[in-house]
Structure 1
Amino acid sequence: MPRGPFDSTLHFLRRPYDFVNTVCSRTGGNMFETRLLLRRTVCLRGEAAAEMFYDKARMSRDGAMPEPVRATLTGKGGVQGLDGERHLRRKEMFVSLLTQERVEALGEKFEKMWLAQLPAWTRESQVIFYEALHPILAEAVCDWAGVPLPAEERIKRTRDLVLLFDRAAALGLGHFRARRARSRSEAWLARVIKDARDRRLVPPAESALAVIAAHRDEDGALLSPRIAAVELLNVLRPTVATSVYITLLAHALHSFPDVAPTPASDRSELGRFVQEVRRFYPFFPAVAARSRKDFRWRNVRFPAGRRFLLDLHATNTDPHLWNEPEIVNPDRFRKEDFSAFALIPQGGGDVSKNHRCPGETVVLEVMERSLRMLLCEMEYRLPAQNLRIDRSRMPALPVSKIILADIRRSERSLKET
């Protein structure tokens, strides 16, 4: 198996979305070994590698994710770090929350709040789109989840939710701010969980708050208030993080007009464009696991306890898997025959059995509604700005975060209204 530099931590941090692809292209394969934070790590990309990575008989998530990520992005004790029956039981809880009806209800709340905010945007000379999305998503998902969000707390709660994903991978002060935001958010939601259990707060029975507050793990015990708060944040935080994808949607509409949908496009066309944006643009670079036993794969022996890093973006742009991956081509999704280990921006495998994100359906719903809003409900222009995607940043975003100017309600929308 090829080997990378002795320790690649700095290389990875400088180019988190390109590091694995660069080394794999140089070595001609889809796997190599290096060190990250001085720990021997096997870096992988590709469909076959993803299928192996999500083999629960070979891989464990317990203790695999670096502590800085658990301390900010995912939280400690949440579903992402569980294995076996504990993982399946906790995953069932999330899957039960995200029925098609409930996902559509969240999408409707998001769309209504966007439309309610639109008049304020029209009064501004310019709007930083990425930042403007945060309060809309935060209020929509809190309302949907049954979590009270008083007007006087909206700014600080939204800011903390954003810090959990926007500054989790930052160095120095940025990472410290994300840690503080994690502590504040868990304390806030632990109080909300206690209020729900003590009936001081009565959320709707189908809401995320009600379900998580009442959830019992495989031992029959309620989750501790802190762990329940971690899991409730695993509903709120990823939904607000969809602001990254929506911003990239706006970037794609502007950058690739020849293949972009139009106001007359049907839902299938919108869906293909959404999937291609998720494939083409970097979102979260990689996920980690460790081998639970010795095993052989591709004629290589791996010892128990070895850390593996599956590069999600490198798999989504693997030239062995995708034809002309550097080209934006929504029509590649017309056949819809890609496997559960090919398009993996939010993990691979079966949602109910593997560590694939159950909130993927929420992302698809919110992205498709956002695309329809940008195409049909509003008009705007992009003034001169820096639209380069900053690939050294996690999450990657256009440097300008997409500045919109001259925003107004579309004539078509006003007539229909």
Structure 2
Amino acid sequence: MNEHRRPLMDRTLPLLTGGYAWLPDRMRESSDRVVRTRLLGRPALAVRGPQAVRFFYDEAHVRRHGAIPGPVLDTLFGQGAVHTLDARAHRTRKELFLPLLAPARVAGLTEQVTAAWDDAVRTWGERERVVLFDEAGVVLTRGVCRWAGLPAGTGTQPLARDLVAMVDGFATPGPRHFRARRARHRQEARLARLVQDVRSGTVTAPADSVLDRVSRHRDTRDEPLDPRTAAVELLNVLRPTAAVSWFVAFAAHALHRWPAHRERLRAGDGAFATAFAHEVRRFYPFAPFLGGRTVRDLTWHGESVPAGGLLLLDVYGQNHDEELWGDPYAFRPQRFLDRPPGPDELIPQGGGDPRTGHRCPGEPITIGLLESLATRLARLDYQVPDQDLTIPLRRVPTRPRSGFAITGVRAP
């Protein structure tokens, strides 16, 4: 019997155990970079490449409503989040986030985070050991809360722990997942009360701040978001910013493994800082793939998936595709000095147009923060003690096992 005519076995369990390597391993068995499989009981088609990115983000092919599994909504995105909407409803909700793309806004957040970083660094020299992953989460949370207009006195460390837990537990069963659920429930309830206080006038949100915009936003029926959904979308600004702690730990890992890059960052080479940020996001694993529900029967390179099935975009595989990157497992920021990445080539935070589609609108924020914090890391004097710096590909999302600990910190 022809291979693609065989009944498809459900591969959800192999995915959970295989992690980042599961889909790329299957792709290597295909000459056309397309894989038919079954996940969560549904037929699925996995694709890769710039043309596949455009195919995946075509709203005539894929919808997000009903595509994101409940466990991911209950941890990472939140029920009713912008990620679950399509067409006009998606575009209307996304208007809440698009002003955050303005260069002045990105610069404002970067200033708040770097100020929080500089304050934190002054205390690190007094400590025997600093775990960069943990400290970055607190610094990023403190900075984004100030920038978003949250009231002073917001408990930064508990909030940072919860934001990091939401990301850390979205793709795994077991204790990490249940910690993520509890964290989301706790913060949604707290921020929903804050939104209600803003609307009642008990709390004043700075004009046009994120808190102000979320509290005032109206959806397609010209009604304000219910407080819980408003809290979900407020978390969808705070949580991705805290998630940059993964990239900070990866940047430290890269500077440790390839210290020659440190000098150009120290010198303030802005173009190199941008290239370094792109290469960290390309080289190190974060999202393994993205998925959507098929609107109609689809065919890609001779393989098909019926309406109501799943279309998967192989993010990790594309970011390590030899045809796109030449030597994909070499960490080489210079590749992005030669030319900027095409919008459908480098996709660690999705592809397509962030203004109209589902590409993460916070991508410029991630890049701006990573440029600044990687430069500060390069200028920081510290030692790297013996520790487990392996990055397990079976763990999603992964990071250096030790969180990247440093000692003997001396601020510049």
Q: TM-score scaled to structure 2, two decimals?
A: 0.95
Say if 1:55 and 1:16 are closer, same or farther in 2 by CA, change over 3 A.
Answer: same
Is the counterpart of residue 375 in structure 1 residue 375 in structure 2?
no
CA contact (8 A) 2:166 2:180 kept: yes
The match for 1:415 is: none
Coordinate RMSD, CA, aligned: 1.7
Amino acid at match of 1:111: T
Pairing 1:124–2:127 present: yes
Matching of residue 193 in structure 1 with residue 216 in structure 2: no
User: How far has the Cα of 1:26 moved from its partner?
Assistant: 2.1
- How far apart in 2 are the matches of 1:301 and 1:42? 7
| Separation of aligned partners in 1, 2:139 and 2:277 | 20
1:338 alignment partner AA: P
Aligned to 1:407: 409
Distance in 2 separating the partners of 1:98 and 1:54: 20
**Deviation at residue 150 of structure 1 after TM alignment:** 2.1
Cα offset for 1:337? 4.7
CA deviation string 1:75-108 (max 9, x = no partner) = 1101101000010111121012331111111111
Using the alignment, how far apart are the partners of 2:261 and 2:383 within structure 1?
Answer: 19
In structure 1, which of residues 67, 76, 79 is the aligned counterpart of residue 79 of structure 2? Answer: 76
Query: Which residue of the partner structure matches residue 96 of structure 1?
Result: 99
**2:43 is matched with which residue?**
40
Shift, 1:10, TM fit: 2.1
Is 1:55 equivalent to 2:62 in the alignment? no
The answer to whether residue 212 in structure 2 is matched with residue 173 in structure 1 is no
1:230 CA displacement: 0.6
Q: Could you tell which deviates more after superposition, 45-54 or 258-267?
A: 258-267
Instruction: Give deviations 1:36-63, integer Å, cap 9, x for gaps.
Output: 2232221222222111100111110111
Matched residues, number: 408
Equivalent of 2:17 in 14, 18, 25: 14
For 1:160, the aligned partner's letter is D
How much does 1:149 deviate?
5.1
Verify the 8 A CA contact 2:251 2:374 in the aligned structure 1: yes
Give the conservation status (yes or no) of the 8 Å contact 1:279–1:343.
Answer: yes
8 Å Cα contact 1:4/1:23 also seen in 2: no
Distance 1:4 1:331 in 2: 46
CA distance 1:4–1:127, change in 2 (3 Å): farther
Partner of 1:263: 266
Q: Report the alpha carbon displacement of residue 173 of structure 1 after superposing the two structures with TM.
A: 2.2
TM-score (norm 1): 0.94
Deviation sequence 1:277-313 (CA, Å, 0-9, x none): 1111101112110111223332334321111121211
Shift of 1:259: 4.6
Alignment map for 1:308-323 (pairs within 5 Å): 308-323=311-326
Distance 1:174 1:295 in 2: 36
Deviation at 1:379, TM superposition (A): 0.7
Q: CA deviation at 1:265?
A: 4.5
Aligned equivalents of 1:262, 1:203: Cα separation in 2: 37
Residue matched to 2:164 = 162
- Within a 5 Å distance, the mapping from 1:190-339 to structure 2 comes to 190-260=192-262, 261-339=264-342
Aligned match of 2:67: 64
1:337/1:379 CA distance change after superposition, 3 Å: closer
Equivalent-residue separation in structure 1 for 2:29 and 2:46 (angstroms): 14
What's the counterpart of residue 142 of structure 2?
139
1:8, 1:304 → 2: CA distance?
19
| Offset at residue 4 of structure 1 (A) | 10
Distance 1:75 1:149 in 2: 25
- Aligned partner of 1:393 in structure 2 is 395
Instruction: Provide the rounded CA distance (Å) in 2 between the counterparts of 1:301 and 1:380.
Output: 54
The alpha carbon displacement at 1:262 in A equals 4.0
CA shift digits 1:14-43 (9 cap, x unpaired): 222111111111233311111222322212
Give SS of 1:309's match: strand
- Give the match's secondary structure for 2:95: helix
Give, in whole Å, the separation in 2 of the partners of 1:22 and 1:36.
16
**Secondary structure of 1:334's aligned partner:** helix
Q: Which amino acid aligns with 2:299?
A: R
Percent identity over the alignment is 39
Corresponding letter in the other structure for 1:78: A
Where 2:65 maps in the other structure, the secondary structure is coil
Structure 1 contact 59–291 (Cα < 8 Å) conserved: yes
Could you tell me which amino acid in structure 2 is paired with residue 322 of structure 1? W
Q: Is the 8 A contact 1:65 1:287 kept in 2?
A: no
The answer to which of 221-230 and 169-178 deviates more is 169-178
Separation of aligned partners in 2, 1:89 and 1:335: 37
The reply on whether 1:341 has 2:344 as its aligned counterpart is: yes
- Cα deviations across residues 241-274 of structure 1 (Å, max 9, x unaligned)? 0000011000011112245534125100111111
Is the contact made by 1:20 and 1:44 (CA closer than 8 Å) also made in structure 2?
A: no
Distance 1:263 1:97, change over 3 A: closer
Q: Is the 8 A contact 1:47 1:341 kept in 2?
A: yes
CA contact (8 A) 1:380 1:407 kept: yes
CA contact (8 A) 1:98 1:358 kept: yes
Per mean C-alpha deviation after superposition, the further-off stretch among 315-324 and 359-368 is: 315-324
Gaps of 5+ in 2: none
Q: Aligned equivalents of 2:131 and 2:7: distance in 1? A: 40
